Amino acid sequence: AALAARADCENAAPRRVAVLNCEDAVKWADHVDVLRCAYGSPGDAWTEYRCYDGEFPSDGDLDALDAVVCPGSRHSANDDALPWVAGLLDALRRAAARTDVRLLGICFGHQAVARALGGAVGANPGGGFRYGAEAVACRGWAGGTLVLLESHGECVTALPAGAACLGSSPGAAHEIIAVGDGVLTLQAHQEFTPALMNARVWPAVAPRLADADAARRAVAAADVDNAAARREIRAFLAGAAPAAGA
């Protein structure tokens, strides 16, 4: 029955999706297109809010949406010196409170959603930077272990009240989080291919890696499970419960 429900969601009507874009680097001018290609379906309408410019959806905007996506960013979800972080956290809380809007967080967005809902974000265990493909042990999500791309200096260190941890990795104990049926967040970058990650992310983080060249080669050779993760995310955005079909 759960698999049938998931199939119904995957064949649902086109969705109205808002991206809370927190990445202002010029090289990511196509950020929304990357997300749409990974998580979108034919006919979906995607709208961008440039949070770094103070753009956020109003309650009226949320009335017209089916889903909100908060993706990755080079910034820290803990950086209250950024003038737009408070507005972002407010927008995430308002989206999470809706029963008619799905909220998806990725990497920075995963951390921002956790913080907005009362969880905590801090440095990675051991203080190092994680860059590479890691095995994510899923619990009640995607049916097993997935190899996914990671790039983060911080992680969720405490869950929000009422949240369930659906997956853990060597670099993030709370790798996948769900809050009820309407909120799903992941630390990993299943929207990136290894080639894209090495081309755009690696140059920026290489100085923070112990062996940057080895890390780049490992990512290039990684056999990642993007297709499985993307399938679960598309079903969630279309209305499936995060753990359906597990």
pLDDT in tens, 15-49: 999 999 999 999 999 999 999 999 999 999 999 99
Rounded to an integer, what distance in angstroms lies between the CA atom of residue 109 and that of residue 53?
A: 17
Q: Indicate if the pLDDT at residue 63 is higher than 80.
A: yes
Q: Indicate if the pLDDT at residue 64 is higher than 60.
A: yes
pTM over 0.85, yes/no: yes
pLDDT of residue 10: 53
Q: Do residues 60 and 31 lie in contact, with contact meaning Cβ atoms separated by under 8 Å?
A: no
pLDDT of residue 11: 56
Q: Indicate if the pLDDT at residue 3 is higher than 50.
A: no
Question: Is pLDDT larger for residue 4 or for residue 156?
Answer: 156
Q: Which residue has the tokens 């999706």?
A: 17
Which whole number is the average pLDDT over 205-233? 97
State the average pLDDT for the chain: 93
For the chain, what is the largest distance between any 2 Cα atoms, rounded to a whole number of angstroms? 49
Rounded to an integer, what distance in angstroms lies between the CA atom of residue 207 and that of residue 165?
A: 31
What separation in angstroms does the CA of 186 have from each of 14, 16, 70, 123, 213? 23, 21, 11, 17, 26
Rounded to an integer, what distance in angstroms lies between the CA atom of residue 223 and that of residue 212?
A: 19
